[in-house]
Structure 1
Amino acid sequence: MTSRRFSVFLVPAADDRRWAEGVIRELAARYDAPPFEPHVTVYGGSYDTDADLEPVRRALAEAAAGTGPITLRVTGLGVTEEYFRSLFVAFGDEPPLSRVHEMVKGAVAADSGHVLMPHLSLLYADMPLAAKEMAARTVSLDRQEMRFDELKIVAPDPVTGWSDARRWQTLFRVRLGAPAKGVKAVLFDYGGVLAEEGFREGLFELARRQGLDPIALHGAGMEAVYESGYVLGTGSESAFWCMVRERTGLRGSARELTSVILDRFVLRPGMLELVRALRAKGYITAIVSDQTDWLEWLDRRDGFFREFDRVFNSYRLGKGKRDPSLFDDVARELGIDPRDAVFVDDMLANVVRAESRGMRGIVADGEPQLRRELKRFVEV
């Protein structure tokens, strides 16, 4: 088994994040360099399976619960010949950051030997040191300290590595100083809540094009995605479409049919704004979706995983929302009691199952209604 790399990032709070993002974008454009998310690397290591990261997630959740936002003292700008430390903001050693580093170090199975060097990079570039020094002189560092309010676990693309920042994947995130009482997490379905229901609308469109009964095709698709095992990661896309074609007379290759489905999953901007507002208040946010590997393709297209603390996808879990114990698993993974979570879905049956495990539930019927219902449980 090949080990994968991961890093723990400390992410700047709103005002400092906006400043850093602006500088990174400007420098990237000027020097034809890649843009990336501003962060301080707390720890870097490797893992073989997702289970290997569970102690790290618990350590970060514990660290977040035990401290508020972390403020780091700015000591100046620095440059090196190293690609990932081409130009950076340097920080002094601060006990809260060191404690988080030590907590992660104590949680990993084997210490990588990572040395904490607090800095926030502003440029990744292969260029002479003198050119980097010149670039540093163009940066207006107008602050004596920076504030950070989020911890996250990030993994690079397994092929391109850390060099392709667009393909970094967030595996876990937690806000520092989350609410201590009442609801702590808001869990969202994807299709029909965060995005248009592409599976239904895509099948309806295929039925229209081929003169089939749209209700019958949608029903056959819903059953086939489970019976083929595709939604639980035990079957393939081709097996799913083969089953649908045999039962309905649908025509077309798997690629052609899937394209129609995926094109109709369109993110709802207002919902992402709601998620950001919840996270700004300190609530945990997560996706809980019965989806295939299409969800990961959609994230590569639209980049929405980064907006959430966790993503729970049936394809990766081997368990879907038809099994009520899934909601126990989700609560346990988030380190909360099920009673501390609100679950939002557009299907009543799924909400009923979540409520049977102690969660509070909302059946989504449009964004205005959802926002009204959510205000019964959270401050947003």
Structure 2
Amino acid sequence: MIRAAVFDLDGVVRHFDPDHVRAIERRHGVPEGAIESFAFAQPQIEDVTTGRIRRAAWVEMIAQHIGNAAAAAEWGSQPSQVDPNILDLAAELRAAGIVTAILTNGTDTIPAEAAELGLVRHFDPIFNSSAIGYIKPDIRVFHYVLDQLGLDAQEVFFTDDSERTLQGAQACGMHAHHFRGIGPLRAALAQHQLVARGGAEPGRCGPRRFG
């Protein structure tokens, strides 16, 4: 029996508009793609998502790399949109007695971001790699989640928009689902008799920021 549903954050629960990033780069005269090609490259992305450096230091590294502090700061504070269909699904699961949680490869500012977006009302706990010290797909981060939830792997359903990330969940025995929209996710949960089939149509999915 599944007792908890764990969701990836970026690319599943919340989304960012890639056009917004391109607009920042055009406005500041930064070559297209320069910000994120550096931001999400190694070792800086792993350093910030494992808590070795803080988000502020990461943004400063980006600023130095592109030679534009204003563009980096604007990128670092860009808005995001939470998918209301996912929130409705989480509410349905919680009403059925299922724990709903988030597991993200995030930075030290995730607690503040989650509070600002109102996610703490829908997901509890929110697991953040920068506080754990390991990132998905490292199997140790999934074992940490299981320990904190007090559940066996077969009691947890995990969804992520990255197939690579799912490998860690599958390796420890969780039910893993590759997220491709609300419709397929609902269908997967319905197979486990956690929710009814049907529901909202799939919405637009933007790119992941961290995972």
1:217: Cα distance to partner? 3.6
Gaps of 5+ in 1: 1-181
User: Contact 2:106–2:130 (CA<8 Å) still a contact in 1?
Assistant: yes
1:201: Cα distance to partner? 6.3
The equivalent of 2:95 in structure 1 is 280
Identity %: 28
1:250: Cα distance to partner? 5.3
1:244: Cα distance to partner? 2.4
The DSSP-based 3-state class of the residue aligned with 1:369 is helix
Match of 1:328 among 143, 154, 158: 143
* Partner amino acid, structure 2, of 1:191: D
Number of residue pairs the alignment of both structures matches:
192
The answer as to 2:24 corresponding to 1:206 is yes
Change (3 A) 1:277 1:378: same
Gaps of 5+ in 2: 196-211
The equivalent of 2:184 in structure 1 is 369
User: Contact 2:142–2:169 (CA<8 Å) still a contact in 1?
Assistant: yes
Moved more, 300-309 or 323-332: 300-309
1:211: Cα distance to partner? 4.4
1:373: Cα distance to partner? 2.2
Aligned pairs for 1:270-349 within 5 A: 270-349=85-164
* Partner amino acid, structure 1, of 2:62: V
The equivalent of 1:232 in structure 2 is 50
The equivalent of 1:186 in structure 2 is 5
1:305: Cα distance to partner? 1.1
Report the Cα distance in structure 2 between the residues aligned to 1:364 and 1:373, rounded to whole angstroms: 10
Q: Which has the larger radius of gyration?
A: 1
Aligned pairs for 1:98-247 within 5 A: 182-197=1-16, 203-209=21-27, 210-214=29-33, 217-223=35-41, 225-227=44-46, 229-247=47-65
The DSSP-based 3-state class of the residue aligned with 1:375 is helix
* Partner amino acid, structure 2, of 1:193: V
User: Contact 2:14–2:81 (CA<8 Å) still a contact in 1?
Assistant: yes
Change (3 A) 1:208 1:363: farther
Report the Cα distance in structure 1 between the residues aligned to 2:132 and 2:9, rounded to whole angstroms: 16
Change (3 A) 1:255 1:267: same
User: Contact 1:204–1:217 (CA<8 Å) still a contact in 2?
Assistant: no
* Partner amino acid, structure 1, of 2:109: W
Aligned pairs for 1:38-57 within 5 A: none
Report the Cα distance in structure 1 between the residues aligned to 2:183 and 2:75, rounded to whole angstroms: 33
Report the Cα distance in structure 2 between the residues aligned to 1:378 and 1:335, rounded to whole angstroms: 22
The DSSP-based 3-state class of the residue aligned with 1:305 is helix
The answer as to 2:68 corresponding to 1:251 is yes
Change (3 A) 1:208 1:348: farther
* Partner amino acid, structure 2, of 1:296: P
1:246: Cα distance to partner? 4.2
Report the Cα distance in structure 2 between the residues aligned to 1:267 and 1:336, rounded to whole angstroms: 28
Report the Cα distance in structure 1 between the residues aligned to 2:126 and 2:98, rounded to whole angstroms: 15
The DSSP-based 3-state class of the residue aligned with 2:164 is helix
Change (3 A) 1:301 1:349: same
The DSSP-based 3-state class of the residue aligned with 2:158 is strand
User: Contact 2:103–2:126 (CA<8 Å) still a contact in 1?
Assistant: yes
The DSSP-based 3-state class of the residue aligned with 2:127 is strand
Report the Cα distance in structure 2 between the residues aligned to 1:374 and 1:327, rounded to whole angstroms: 20
1:320-360 Cα offsets, whole Å, 9 max, x none, are: 11422111110111011112111111111111221111111
1:73-128 Cα offsets, whole Å, 9 max, x none, are: xxxxxxxxxxxxxxxxxxxxxxxxxxxxxxxxxxxxxxxxxxxxxxxxxxxxxxxx
Report the Cα distance in structure 2 between the residues aligned to 1:211 and 1:298, rounded to whole angstroms: 26
Aligned pairs for 1:42-121 within 5 A: none
Report the Cα distance in structure 1 between the residues aligned to 2:16 and 2:159, rounded to whole angstroms: 14
1:202: Cα distance to partner? 5.4
User: Contact 1:362–1:374 (CA<8 Å) still a contact in 2?
Assistant: no
Report the Cα distance in structure 2 between the residues aligned to 1:285 and 1:205, rounded to whole angstroms: 35
Report the Cα distance in structure 2 between the residues aligned to 1:296 and 1:202, rounded to whole angstroms: 23
User: Contact 2:55–2:109 (CA<8 Å) still a contact in 1?
Assistant: no
